[in-house]
Structure 1
């Protein structure tokens, strides 16, 4: 696995554990020589992951729409930064560059990106592994909702299984690398 998209908050959240795990993910990506692909901002968990990868000697590619570059102040010390016009172009470009996706805690944007990539995975438009790192039970209620969708016949059980759930950085990466080896090359 050479590159992973990370979806996460542009704020740090209220619990320091979120920032700690974002930094741990950054260190681990750099140690494994996995390029970080992310939204290109310099704040919150996004900035923490990117800064940590850079400080740990890794490579980081940001993808940011022009209008957000002004609002979020695009990160200026990345290995590579792509500017696009729309949020859709951003999401598409990010997954074009990556072999897998990890979601840390975040808000609407993180959930939007996560559910869109899961829908693409379900429709076979994307074949990389998709994982959430369920820090501090952050995704517990979302996971219960997915189970309810299966129970009520709106989501097939095999599509529910497309989402890898981990409680640590190491567990997420190991599960993703294992599932990536099982998948045919793109």
Structure 2
């Protein structure tokens, strides 16, 4: 119940300074049964980062959508005969990328996204999941939330290998000059 309350933060309609690791961990608690049932190995590399100013429920929704996609991807990969013996893994990495921005990287060892559709992953109603299982709104919602927070979200992928989602967020929201808040490009290490 505490994890769900921490995750949802329904009582917050103003930005608040929060520890992103707590939000990610609350999301992981909610997803832990699904992960353990499928023997998914989780690798966390949380570096020391300051609290960020954000709308916590919205940012937690980003973690939920990205991690749910990662879980689905590694489970699907395991159903392919050539990947049956590959243990499903998800990596989460956090780091400061400048004095004003932090980066959260989430990598899975699923099947990846084909090159011909990678550019459409943020489009509303786009999904690679079978009919009836995915709404196609998850990454579209993530994109909108991250943009509203003056950050950036990028997806890169290698077919039959992995998908890497990189989210860069400012430490402080800038209501006066949001156009001046340009997050740095990805250079994440795994």
TM-score category of the 2 structures, normalised to the smaller one: under 0.3
Q: TM-score, normalised on structure 2? A: 0.25
TM-score (norm 1): 0.26
Greater helix content: 1
